[in-house]
Homo-oligomer: A and B are copies of this chain.
Amino acid sequence: MEENILIFGHKNPDTDSICSSIVKEILNKKNGCEKSKAVRLGAVNKETQYVLNYLGIEAPELIEKVEEGQKVILVDHNEFNQSVEGIQNAKILGVIDHHRIANFETSDPLYYTARPYGCTSTILYKEFVQKGIEIEKTEATLMASAIISDTLLFKSPTTTEHDKKALEELGKIANINVEEYGLEMLKAGTDLDDFSEEQLINIDAKSLEKDGTKFVIAQVNTVSIEDVLKRQEKIKAVINKTIEEKGLSLFVFVVTDILNSNSEVIALGSRTDAVENAFDKKLVDNRMFLEGVVSRKKQVLPVIDKNI
């Protein structure tokens, strides 16, 4: 068992998951907890790689599972089915998150800080400020990048005043032009051409469960929905394969146009009715266009969850 306290975000890590785990390690160390160590549960995506390259820092080490009794801190998630293998028997010391709470439990009291903000890094930013700990350029850039990613440069309806204020301050410390840097970073993440269809549907796939019904909502960002969906037949084939292999009732693949703030979804499985009822719209050829929808957390997950 690793002696360190392992800090990690969710499976299929996005920029918030990777950046917030590194920042939490930095924050803990500045706060006197030397044993903290950021790790990750999956491949670094291209958007996040852009951030790491910009700073010239390495990605956290990849882990596959944790041993019984391993001390851990979760960032950017809490649901066990989105977490590391073995999480049920780990010792969860803390959680910093901005999602709903579900499929989560501990046997002991813990630190749990959830806020309904757009990004985990916004909560971390406030922790630095509250504790009076200096924010240096590296962690400022990491937190700014996470906020830009999660809020799609404030275009996402998940954006709160807290995120805006945090990004404003962090941008200054990081010494970046938030708009320019942000667009470059987001665009870096939308280069999907060299992903296989199998990889594509797993870049940011969230596994969910309600009353025994298992479903997945996956999302990719792009600057051209057309460009992604020219591969739709192959994408549908791998989704159907995943549904069969994992015993899913529904797989929703959300392709989000980050420039125009719209999404097109592909929905497959025995419970596509949940998607039709959620948006009060019929699927045509298992596809549906969603005007103004960009946030899985706020605009997609809750309405589908209610109809499962």
Q: A residues near B, CB below 8 A? A: 98-117, 130, 297, 302, 305-306
CA distance A111 to B114 in the complex (A): 5
Interchain CB contact (< 8 A) of A112 among B103, B109, B112, B117: B112
- If A112-B101, A114-B112 touch, does A107 touch B297 (CB 8 Å cutoff)? no
CA distance A203 to B111 in the complex (A): 28
- What residues of B have a CB within 8 angstroms of the CB of A106 in the complex? 100-102
- What residues of B have a CB within 8 angstroms of the CB of A114 in the complex? 109-113
CA distance A297 to B302 in the complex (A): 34
Nearest CB in chain B: distance from A121 CB, A: 15
Is the beta-carbon distance between B111 and A100 smaller than 8 angstroms?
no
Nearest CB in chain B: distance from A267 CB, A: 20
- If A112-B112, A113-B112, A113-B113 touch, does A104 touch B101 (CB 8 Å cutoff)? yes
CA distance A101 to B117 in the complex (A): 21
- What residues of B have a CB within 8 angstroms of the CB of A100 in the complex? 105-110
Most chain-B Cβ atoms within 10 A of its Cβ — which of A99, A101, A106, A305? A101
Instruction: With A109-B116, A109-B117 given, name 17 new contacts (CB 8 A).
Output: A98-B109, A99-B109, A100-B106, A100-B107, A100-B108, A101-B104, A101-B105, A101-B106, A102-B107, A104-B104, A108-B302, A109-B114, A110-B114, A110-B116, A111-B115, A111-B116, A113-B114
- What residues of B have a CB within 8 angstroms of the CB of A103 in the complex? 105
